[in-house]
Chains A and B, each alone.
Chain A
Amino acid sequence: GESVGLHLPTLSVQEGDNSIINCAYSNSASDYFIWYKQESGKGPQFIIDIRSNMDKRQGQRVTVLLNKTVKHLSLQIAATQPGDSAVYFCAENIRYTGNQFYFGTGTSLTVIP
């Protein structure tokens, strides 16, 4: 379910390197996940989504991996750029509970030029 109000973990990477951001969820009934990017003072921006009948989905420079066995989701960003610096959240939709999404803790990504 619901997001937990913990302080954000941080990740720093060199420009050009690949970034991996992780997310754990607890509800086995979660069947749809979205990764969002949030820049300071702005609303979340859609990056990529994945449904529970998939293990992997690729977008432009981003890949999402879903491991339902251990309830783990990851976002991989290839060739990270300074513009990728932001806070990244995974959000989950729980089957049969409606259309609402619950957000994970989030990770603050800083790209070092």
Chain B
Amino acid sequence: GAVVSQHPSRVICKSGTSVKIECRSLDFQATTMFWYRQFPKQSLMLMATSNEGSKATYEQGVEKDKFLINHASLTLSTLTVTSAHPEDSSFYICSAREDRGNYGYTFGSGTRLTVV
């Protein structure tokens, strides 16, 4: 089945630094990928839709300059949390939509970001 690899699974960074999270579709092409954020014991909140070769579409209230998204190929999207602060600590999850077949959505295993 379709597999999405998300890296790193855990990261701890100092306040003020930037962190890049990668989302790769391993055995399928995905023109469209999605980035979610999840706080403990809460639901997934859609942050942005990542489109290969074009600018990402951000949900209302999500800072574009804070969460930089790059979707440079059909199998890779990256989310960079810039100038991270403790309130950015969260579980970040990506999903990828298959370009062909049943156009299914597959989620990565998530990245636990802790900003100290």
Give the segment of B63-71, B77-85, B103-111 that binds chain A: B103-111
Contact between A101 and B43 (Cβ–Cβ < 8 Å)? Answer: no
Contact between A5 and B34 (Cβ–Cβ < 8 Å)? Answer: no
Cα A98 to Cα B33 in complex, Å, equals 12
Contact between A6 and B42 (Cβ–Cβ < 8 Å)? Answer: yes
Give the segment of A37-45, A60-68, A72-80 that binds chain B: A37-45
Distance between B49 CB and nearest chain A CB, rounded to angstroms: 5
Contact between A99 and B97 (Cβ–Cβ < 8 Å)? Answer: yes
| Count of interface residues, chain B, beta-carbon cutoff 8 Å | 27
Contact between B46 and A2 (Cβ–Cβ < 8 Å)? Answer: yes
Cα A101 to Cα B96 in complex, Å, equals 11
Q: Which residues of chain B are within 8 angstroms of A102 by Cβ–Cβ distance? A: 46
Interface centre among A44, A45, A106 (most CB of B within 10 A): A44
Instruction: Report if B100 contacts A (CB, 8 A).
Output: no
Please provide the chain B residues from 43 to 72 with a CB less than 8 Å away from any CB of chain A in the complex: 43-46, 49, 57, 59
Q: Which residue of A lies closest to B48 (CB)?
A: A100
A residues at B contact (CB < 8 Å): 2-8, 34, 36, 41-46, 89, 91, 98-106, 108
Q: What 4 A-B pairs come out closest when comparing CB atoms?
A: A43-B107, A3-B43, A103-B44, A43-B109
